[in-house]
């Protein structure tokens, strides 16, 4: 399948970040950033009957749009090269930390959306691979990296048939970790050692700020991951002694 935005060549300002208000004021509605923002407003920022709970698909988004703390940028290359995508994400991770607000509660509403209009649906796996490889370094520093594309199969938390991360144009989203991220840190797709590392990072950053129920859930998930690691070691030892 050919991506309808595959020929959207980066401009001289490709490496620039646009706030949502700047995108709407400065860019044509046909521009990939404008189309991405329109999707964010009509999907992520709105309720959805398939979601399984009240509120926006992404609870973070309405407040961030109101505060104008969502930045968007075009990836500064035109080929699906993994090393270039990794370098781009690393660069904007560093940029993210320099953007205001840098700390306090308001900083939790800050995000960068890196948009990849040249990637086709066949390249979706590349976005997933980069996100999976880089997520540990993000989580270690109290940040999250989310992957969006039209083939995304990540299920909703309350409705496994819902696909909240499917977007018409591929992108990777950078933001700070928040208390509601716990379910995304101990998913079964991660091995127990990685789950344990994720939850430790979560507790270091948010342990004193989350509710008692969330704290207890995080500790329980950490203990379960540690036990699973011990069980795996015992199984290996048993195999080695046979």
Does a structural domain hold residue 12?
A: no
Average pLDDT of the segment spanning 123-136: 94
Which of 150, 176, 202 is a domain's end point?
A: 176
Q: For residue 70, what are its two tokens?
A: 């969502």
Does a structural domain hold residue 5?
A: no
Which pLDDT score is estimated for 10?
39
| 25 CB neighbour count, 10 Å cutoff | 9
What would the pLDDT profile of 26-75 be if each residue is shown by its tens digit?
999 999 999 999 999 999 999 999 999 999 999 999 999 999 999 999 99
Does a structural domain hold residue 39?
A: yes
**Rounded Cα gap, residues 84 and 76, in angstroms:** 9
Three-class SS of residue 44? helix
Which of 149, 176, 203 is a domain's end point?
A: 176
Indicate if the pLDDT at residue 237 is higher than 90. no
**Does 155 share its domain with 197?**
no
Q: Which residue, among 167, 91, 86, 178, has the nearest Cα to 131 in the 3D structure? A: 86
**Does 200 share its domain with 166?**
no
Does a structural domain hold residue 7?
A: no
Does a structural domain hold residue 217?
A: yes
**Does 112 share its domain with 172?**
yes
Which pLDDT score is estimated for 13?
40
What would the pLDDT profile of 79-129 be if each residue is shown by its tens digit?
778 999 999 999 999 999 999 998 888 899 999 999 999 998 888 889 999
Does a structural domain hold residue 235?
A: yes
What would the pLDDT profile of 139-178 be if each residue is shown by its tens digit?
999 999 999 999 999 999 999 999 999 999 999 999 999 9
**Does 65 share its domain with 156?**
yes
Q: Which residue, among 131, 123, 120, 138, has the nearest Cα to 154 in the 3D structure? A: 131
Q: Which residue has the tokens 């994400």?
A: 89
Which pLDDT score is estimated for 234?
63
**Rounded Cα gap, residues 157 and 108, in angstroms:** 21
What's the domain count of the chain? 2
**Does 158 share its domain with 221?**
no
Which pLDDT score is estimated for 212?
97
Question: How does DSSP classify residue 109?
Answer: G
**Does 98 share its domain with 202?**
no
Give the structural domain span for 172.
18-176
Indicate if the pLDDT at residue 14 is higher than 80. no
CB-neighbour burial class of residue 99 (10 A; exposed 0-12, middle 13-18, buried 19+): middle
| 12 CB neighbour count, 10 Å cutoff | 6
**Does 130 share its domain with 205?**
no
Average pLDDT of the segment spanning 220-227: 94
**Does 30 share its domain with 145?**
yes
**Does 104 share its domain with 205?**
no
- Judge contact between 145 and 138, C-beta under 8 A: yes
Q: Is the pTM of this model over 0.75?
A: yes
Does a structural domain hold residue 10?
A: no
Confidence of residue 1 (pLDDT cuts 50, 70, 90): very low
Q: Which residue, among 112, 57, 59, has the nearest Cα to 89 in the 3D structure? A: 112
**Rounded Cα gap, residues 195 and 170, in angstroms:** 26
Average pLDDT of the segment spanning 12-24: 79
Which helix (H) or strand (E) segment holds residue 141: the answer is none
**Does 115 share its domain with 198?**
no
Which pLDDT score is estimated for 2?
40
Which pLDDT score is estimated for 241?
64
Indicate if the pLDDT at residue 76 is higher than 80. no
Does a structural domain hold residue 147?
A: yes
Three-class SS of residue 81? coil
% the chain with pLDDT above 70? 88
Three-class SS of residue 173? strand
**Does 200 share its domain with 171?**
no
**Does 40 share its domain with 112?**
yes
**Rounded Cα gap, residues 189 and 191, in angstroms:** 7
């Amino acid at each position: 399948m050919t991506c309808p935005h595959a020929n959207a060549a980066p401009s001289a300002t490709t490496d620039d970040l646009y706030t949502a208000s700047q995108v709407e004021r400065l860019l044509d509605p046909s521009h990939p950033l404008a189309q991405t923002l329109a999707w964010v407003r009509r999907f992520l920022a709105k309720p959805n009957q398939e979601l399984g709970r009240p509120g926006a698909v992404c609870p973070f988004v309405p407040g961030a749009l109101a505060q104008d703390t969502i930045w968007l940028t075009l990836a500064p290359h035109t080929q699906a090269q993994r090393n270039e995508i990794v370098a781009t994400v690393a660069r904007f991770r560093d940029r993210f930390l320099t953007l205001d607000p840098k700390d306090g509660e308001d900083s939790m509403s800050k995000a960068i959306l890196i948009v990849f209009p040249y990637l086709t649906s066949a390249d979706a796996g590349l976005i997933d691979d980069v996100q999976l490889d880089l997520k540990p370094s993000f989580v270690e520093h109290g940040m999250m990296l989310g992957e969006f594309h039209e083939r995304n199969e990540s299920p909703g938390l309350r409705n496994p048939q819902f696909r909240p991360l499917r977007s018409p144009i591929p992108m990777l989203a950078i933001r700070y970790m928040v208390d509601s991220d716990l379910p995304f840190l101990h998913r079964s797709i991660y091995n127990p050692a990685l789950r344990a590392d994720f939850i430790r990072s979560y507790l270091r950053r948010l342990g004193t700020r989350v509710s008692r129920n969330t704290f207890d859930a995080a500790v329980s998930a950490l203990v379960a991951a540690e036990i699973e690691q011990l069980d795996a070691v015992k199984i290996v030892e048993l195999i080695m002694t046979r």
